[in-house]
Amino acid sequence: MLAKLWRGSPIIRPLSTLIDSGISWIDVTPHLAKRAGRVLADAGVGPGAVDALVATVAATFGDIVLTPDPDDFARLTQHFAGLRVLAV
């Protein structure tokens, strides 16, 4: 997920600050990956596998999704009660 953001996005500087301040990293388990796959299958056209995985992890751990593409995540929020998405 980090690689996707680190390719010239204007949010690299603030993202770097977050990383340096000690954000938590989550390992993707088979359980999380399978759940994301089921959500992706239900979501239809739009969100990709990375979006589904990010939404799954955020919903599981109560985190907020920061994204420049909130429309794709809007299709995923129906699968996760309380998923919070913030456009950046």
Task: Give me the residue spans of the domains in the chain.
Answer: 24-87
Task: Kindly state the average pLDDT of the residues 58-66.
Answer: 89
Q: Mind listing the pLDDT tens digit for each residue in 12-45?
A: 777 778 778 877 778 889 999 999 999 988 887 7
- Minimal CA–CA distance to 63: which of 31, 17, 32? 32
- Is the pLDDT reported for residue 88 higher than 90? no
Cα separation, 17 vs 14, whole angstroms: 5
Top CATH class of 24-87 equals alpha beta
87 three-class SS: strand
